[in-house]
Amino acid sequence: MDYVRLGTTGLEVSPICLGTWRFGEVSSGVTETDRREAHELLDTFAERGGNFVDTANGYGEGRSEQWIGEWLADRDREDFVIASKCYWSDVSRFQENLSRKNVRAEVEGSLEKLDTDYLDVLYLHRFDDETPIERTLRTIDDLVSEGKVNYVGISTCDAWKLTKGLWQADVNNYEAFTVTQPQYSAVHREPVEDYLEVCADQDLAVCPYSPLHGGLLTGKYERTDEGDVEAPDGSRGDLDEHFEDWYLSEDAWDVVEEVEAVAEEADATPAQVALRWLMDEDRFTCVPIVGARTVDQLEENLDAVDVALSDDQRARIDEAGAVGD
């Protein structure tokens, strides 16, 4: 597996990042990925050359970080790039923000659960409108100086808020955002286009979550004659009551059809084509985060590194989900 430079961080990472949102997550009374399954996924990822793992303090009520920490204990920490997040608290609902107190408490909690001395990347999980961003950035700048955080990133927010954070870091000489994590896929583009333009202009790495649009771009979902979705048992569409509201639209189905057509031509699966489309971004470093729930799904996703798309195939997918249409 060839590694890529994560924007301006200097970190060399696998071209696909392993997402662990579903580790320990309970949906409709079912634990989506249990401890044994989580460790199997991490084993497979590492065996294939993967070194970039994404988690958050609140995933699985803290179980995601804990299980990753247990797994890391038997390995060389320096071989892996670990990213986590803060905003929501896994300790108290009264500390869900980016105040100095909460940021420090959540980072210390993450380090303890992960059993590590530092985070390679700390994302702000959301933008906190109630706490001045310069105060949050100063706190993280202190954590960087203390060696507890190496790089700072931000996930979902408006483009102007991302720009505001970059400006405040610049004028105050604080550690600035170098990595971002928006929702971005061949389907989900228009809502984040302004955000991505900032990333391209400022040379920020982009690590998209939901790169397969909730699994819709895997090709496993079918549209019924009534316009509903037919979801396999145990899939997100089957377990998540919000699936149709969040992921389905007429435009989404148009992209799915084009991705499936390209997959047939490229001797690949729809999921591999959708991931390759992201990895081929030429405006910025793009490392998609995959949240596979089985080893077979993860193996399929990782094989996307060997898929090649022609300019024409990329253009057809671009057109199917073109921004502004």
C-alpha distances out from residue 228 to 235, 238, 243, 245, Å: 15, 12, 11, 11
Distance CA 152, CA 120 (A): 8
Question: Does the CA dihedral 136-138-141-145 come out positive or negative?
Answer: negative
DSSP for residue 234: T
Catalytic residue among 3, 59, 221, 247: 59
Residue 59: active-site member: yes
**DSSP secondary structure string for all residues of 217-229:** GGT--EE-TTS-E
Asked if residues 97 and 131 have their Cβ atoms less than 8 Å apart, the reply is yes
C-alpha distances out from residue 211 to 15, 16, 249, 268, 311, Å: 13, 11, 16, 17, 20
What CA dihedral angle connects 49, 55, 59 and 63, to 10 degrees? Answer: 60
Asked if residues 314 and 259 have their Cβ atoms less than 8 Å apart, the reply is no
Q: Which residues are catalytic?
A: 59
